[in-house]
């Protein structure tokens, strides 16, 4: 007598085994797919607000300047003179401003900024004054020149670096040089030339926002106070910029830059003071790689 119940039961057991075996295969397949996706995600670099490895911005800088200079000899005190008001030096002059950036690692950068101002003027003074021990009478014909250079090299570390924002702390060095000269047609007066230069550390903060792939909005601030080689200097710098990238490697930029320096210096036979404020708009072109 043939019994069919055992065959049906064996078939059910076999179907159940194959059913659960298929579930195991599908689970294993899903796990492998997830693992591959995770590996691919890890292999894709994270987007950052600043992807440039190197950039160079060359701008036309048209600052308004206010400059006060004081020079005293060991015997005769000097006066505080405004180069713009007393000598009619131009308050505004368009100069070239250069800014470069080199990315060392994903979070570390070097930033360099340089510009200079050169102004000169000849006029007959309408007020008498004393400079570095010499007295200048009314209507003395004088030639005045004032040159100022500023260079900054900063190391930045980005403690916030996301696809939309970069916030970096900066430490670096400022180097400034000021040269002033006064020469008169009166042969009894000696031509005066004074030069002071020095460097100091700088601490600052820079913020970059990229609301869209083409727009870059940035701002920075730096300040420090130091006494180096008999010069007691205090300075503050700040700036804002908006840049539009026409292509990934080329952009146009508009900005505003501000700088203020106060320095007291004392030498063996001569001492003085320099107060200078430089502020104005910038417009330039950025090349990036």
Statement to judge: residues 272 and 152 lie in one domain: yes
| Residues 16 and 80 both lie in one domain | no
Kindly report the CA angle at 252 between 159 and 59, in degrees rounded to 5? 90
> Residue 149's closest CA among 183, 182, 181, 113?
113
Q: Within this chain, do residues 178 and 263 fall inside the same structural domain, yes or no?
A: yes
Are residues 3 and 21 located together in one domain of the fold?
Answer: yes
Taking CB atoms within 8 Å and a gap of at least 24, the contacts of 83-88 are 83/119, 83/144, 83/146, 83/180, 86/125, 86/127, 86/129, 87/121, 87/123, 87/125, 87/142, 87/144, 88/121, 88/123
For 128-153, the pLDDT digits (tens) are 887 777 788 888 899 999 899 999 99
**Distances in whole angstroms, Cα of residue 35 to Cα of each of 30, 47, 288:** 9, 22, 37
Q: Which of 5-14, 66-75, 243-252, 274-283 has the lowest mean pLDDT?
A: 5-14
List the domain range (segments joined by +) for residue 18: 1-44
Q: Which residues pair with 264 in a beta bridge?
A: 232, 273
Structural contact between residues 239 and 257, judged by C-beta atoms closer than 8 angstroms: yes
Looking at the fold, whether 145 and 202 belong to one and the same domain comes out as yes
Rounded percentage of the chain residues whose pLDDT exceeds 90: 43
Report whether 177 contacts 200 (CB < 8 A): no
Whole-model pTM: value is 0.77
Residue where the block lists tokens 């003179």: 81
Closest CA to 173 of 264, 112, 234: 112
CATH code assigned at 185:
2.40.128.90
User: Are residues 159 and 283 both part of a single domain?
Assistant: yes
Question: Do residues 17 and 77 both lie within one domain?
Answer: no
Do 208 and 109 fall within a single domain? yes
pLDDT at 113 over 60: yes
Q: Is residue 49 in a domain?
A: no
The per-residue pLDDT for range 31-42, each reduced to its tens digit, is 454 444 444 444
Residue 18 pLDDT exceeds 60: no
Predicted confidence at residue 82, as pLDDT, reads 87
* Structural domains of the chain, count: 2
* Beta bridge mates, 287: 56, 250
| 260 shares its domain with 127 | yes
Whether residue 12 sits in one domain with residue 89: no
Residues 168 and 240 in one domain: yes
User: How does DSSP classify residue 89?
Assistant: -
The pLDDT of residue 196:
76
Same domain, 254 and 114: yes
Lookup: tokens for 64: 């308004």
């Amino acid at each position: 007598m043939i019994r069919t119940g055992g065959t049906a039961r064996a078939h059910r057991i076999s179907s159940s085994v194959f059913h659960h075996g298929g579930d195991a295969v599908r689970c294993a397949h899903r796990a492998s797919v997830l693992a591959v996706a995770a590996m691919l995600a890890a292999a894709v670099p994270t987007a950052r607000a600043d992807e440039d490895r190197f950039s160079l911005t060359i701008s036309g800088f048209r600052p308004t300047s206010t400059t006060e200079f004081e020079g005293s000899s060991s015997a005769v005190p000097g006066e505080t003179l405004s180069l713009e008001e007393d000598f009619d030096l131009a308050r505004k002059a368009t100069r070239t401003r250069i800014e470069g950036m080199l990315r060392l690692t994903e979070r570390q950068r070097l930033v360099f900024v340089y510009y200079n101002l050169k102004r000169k003027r000849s006029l007959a003074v309408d007020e008498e004054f004393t400079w570095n021990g010499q007295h200048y009478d009314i209507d003395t014909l004088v030639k005045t020149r004032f040159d100022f250079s500023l260079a900054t090299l900063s190391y930045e570390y980005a403690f916030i670096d996301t696809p939309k924002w970069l916030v970096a702390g900066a430490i670096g060095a400022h180097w400034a040089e000021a040269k002033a000269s006064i020469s008169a047609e009166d042969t009894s007066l000696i031509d005066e030339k004074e030069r002071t230069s020095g460097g100091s550390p700088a601490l600052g903060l820079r913020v970059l926002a990229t609301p869209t792939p083409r727009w870059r909005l940035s701002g920075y601030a730096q300040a420090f106070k130091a006494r180096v080689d008999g010069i007691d200097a205090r300075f503050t710098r700040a700036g804002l910029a908006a840049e539009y990238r026409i292509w990934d490697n080329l952009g146009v930029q508009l900005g505003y830059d501000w700088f203020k320096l106060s320095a007291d210096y004392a030498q063996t036979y001569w001492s003085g003071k320099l107060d200078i404020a430089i502020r104005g708009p910038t417009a330039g072109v950025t090349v990036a790689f």
